[in-house]
Structure 1
């Protein structure tokens, strides 16, 4: 089982090693560490870890939170395979078939930011133009997604929103009225580093789509 853990801790020598030791005592195999933030004396890192069997997320939280100054911001499943370059793979497939650029985008983008699903919606027509296989098949009875109305998702700027168990990211698709929306359940809010990565990829895919 692969999990992503988002951990905040004092930015001082040895703090990262403390987190690694705790995970090791729990039987975790650390596959990757991604630095999200280093500022104001604190660090925020994402650990991609695997366990040979089921794991109790609450136990992981309790053990890590027992280290002075350490805070667990989220524990959630991930499909991203460490050591791969899913953003490059996405762009390769878009370059091969730019006519399907946005359909390819929603299929691949969730793995880039450890989300569960993605859609491109048209707030004007309240339609889902493209969707990944785990995404809702249509807007709900309120005209929205997982409790958030399409009008609220269609902000003029990239935004991170929350709705109950769902964390959402909404990005305007350049030169259109459509929005790319990504979601994950039970994980922390999308970090600004994830937001920035998604924005860059979306901008490049949008440019490549004009080649069709």
Structure 2
């Protein structure tokens, strides 16, 4: 199976090699490494690995924990192939090429790009700010792996951010900037694996995709969640 392993490690020569060797000795086949952050002598890296289905993940965690200064932030199942350069641009081209299904295309693709479980385009009342509590969100479109009904967090105020709920589910949220529409992406907790929270770079990436899609789709977004017009 495909796993995403997020580690925080000292940003010094040799440490990344130690992590890579430990993953290999544990039985993992590394297919991609993405640097999420380098700051203050520390780095946050995402490793996408092929992991033998019958092997125990505890062996991998024990090996990484033995490396001085290394912290495992999360290990979780990745959906689909690792992300590659240009995938975001390719997705936006698909949205532009078929705007009638553009929102569905975006919602269905985002979980794979962010190693998440599911995504939902949710709609909040346009007067949410005056309601105090924000108002209950409704589902405009849900990805194919989303639960029915999807458990949505409080998405207001409408700004890009991440959050973690008491049950361990991690969310990333990004508003479209019109019609009370917001994209919600989720990583669920699943024993014995523990997903990492969405990193700020992932939230920024989601927000950029959503803003670009909003420009492409324009007025079509105003129809999401609107009641159907019945001919008289």
The normalised TM-score by structure 1 is 0.89
Within the alignment, does 1:204 sit opposite 2:206 as a pair? no
In structure 1, the gaps of 5 or more residues are none
Q: Distance in 2 between matches of 1:83 and 1:174?
A: 26
Q: Distance in 2 between matches of 1:153 and 1:60?
A: 35
Larger CA Rg, structure 1 vs 2: 2
Instruction: Identify which range, 118-127 or 129-138, moves more after superposition.
Output: 118-127
What number of residue pairs does the alignment pair up? 203
Paired position in structure 1 for 2:36 = 36
Q: Distance in 1 between matches of 2:199 and 2:187?
A: 12
Q: Distance in 2 between matches of 1:81 and 1:110?
A: 11
In structure 2, relative to structure 1, the CA distance for the partners of 1:173 and 1:211 (3 Å cut) is: closer
Instruction: Identify which range, 124-133 or 197-206, moves more after superposition.
Output: 124-133
Deviation by residue 1:25-47 (Cα, 9 ceiling, x = unmatched)? 11211100000000011010000
Please tell me whether the aligned partners of residues 123 and 179 of structure 2 are also in contact (alpha carbons under 8 angstroms).
Answer: no
Within the alignment, does 1:180 sit opposite 2:183 as a pair? yes
Within the alignment, does 1:136 sit opposite 2:136 as a pair? no
How far residue 83 of structure 1 moved from its aligned partner, in angstroms, is 6.0
Larger relative strand fraction? 1
Q: Distance in 1 between matches of 2:144 and 2:43?
A: 34
Q: Which runs of 4+ in 1 moved over 6 A?
A: none
Instruction: Identify which range, 70-79 or 47-56, moves more after superposition.
Output: 47-56
